[in-house]
Structure 1
């Protein structure tokens, strides 16, 4: 396997996939935090999946509602990387929102609020530039308002937020 052991680690101790690309094989919890090797973790989102925009929104919504924003971020990232150039900033902004919620759920108020606002700004700028506020049935005004309100809440919180309880509704 080109210097890769059967465990998926190369001779330098780095995780690799079957194609030799760097991939962290450690199990992760529902918020994407790495767990020790051999620990039970949640099933990870496959990377590099090309989905229709509607399927991306539906899968991300289900993951957000289940309190798994890190995994929703992976779905948005796939859309960002595989979608048309004119939509990349939209998907990148949505990915930032999911990462912001991930940080907030992990108790990182500063990072969570910052990424929620950055994602809201990116989505707003994309909508203003394209004149589209409901691409793929997304409720961009509602998502932006959710992100900005949650950013303020996160800054005032005394601990992590419940990701499932505060998850956005992507479609209005």
Structure 2
């Protein structure tokens, strides 16, 4: 993404506001010129399996903010019938991001919102709704993980280690 500076705002080629500042591993903006982590490219079209593999690697590395961007790409580019699934996964990743940043309230809220969205994707016999999720996603396990982590985050109100508590997506 190339940027131009108009006033104090970073903008992309189309003139939309974009923050070009480097970011840390949890997606927090750093001062211009600081060393940050590589950002996820936006708008990448992947298969469901590629999205899951990429997101899992980022979650395992303690980078849930970046995993959320992978899920967001899948949400925006995937089949209409799967958008709710990818949106729910993005919400759980953002919930983990907030929990890792020490925002217990926001983290728990987004983890629960994501879990609620995943319930309809649980396989037959595990919940009502869409049925089996693509790419071997373990939606029942992800629902349990998100609900349990939300409760732990609220009870402790301490920042979590994102890599240590990252879910297994499949």
Q: TM-score w.r.t. structure 1 length?
A: 0.91
User: Does residue 16 of structure 2 align to residue 17 of structure 1?
Assistant: no
Structure 2 residues without counterparts, runs of 5 or longer: 123-127
Contact kept? 2:95, 2:106, Cα under 8 Å: yes
Select which of 3, 15, 18 maps to 1:8: 3
Distance 1:9 1:146, change over 3 A: same
**8 Å contact 2:68–2:94 — kept in the other structure?**
yes
Report the Cα offset of residue 126 of structure 1. 4.1
**Preserved CA contact (<8 Å) 2:48 2:134:** no
- The unaligned stretches of length 5 or more in structure 1 are 1-6
Q: C-alpha distance in 2, partners of 1:109/1:12? A: 35
Q: Do residues 99 (structure 1) and 94 (structure 2) align? A: yes
Corresponding residue number in structure 1 for 2:142: 143
Give the root-mean-square deviation of aligned CA atoms. 1.3
SS at match of 1:45: coil
1:3-152 to 2 correspondence within 5 Å?
A: 8-127=3-122, 128-132=128-132, 134-152=133-151
The answer on whether the counterparts of 1:54 and 1:136 sit within 8 Å (CA) in structure 2 is yes
Provide the aligned length of Structure 1 versus Structure 2: 164
| 1:157 to partner: Cα distance | 1.5
| Offset, 1:159 | 1.5
Q: What per-residue deviation string (whole Å, max 9, x for no partner) do you get for residues 29-61 of structure 1?
A: 000000001100000000000011100000000
Q: Which residue of 2 aligns with 1:3?
A: none
Measure the CA separation in 1 of the matches of 2:30 and 2:87.
Answer: 27
Tell me: CA distance 1:99–1:126, structure 2 relative to 1, closer, same or farther (3 Å). Answer: same
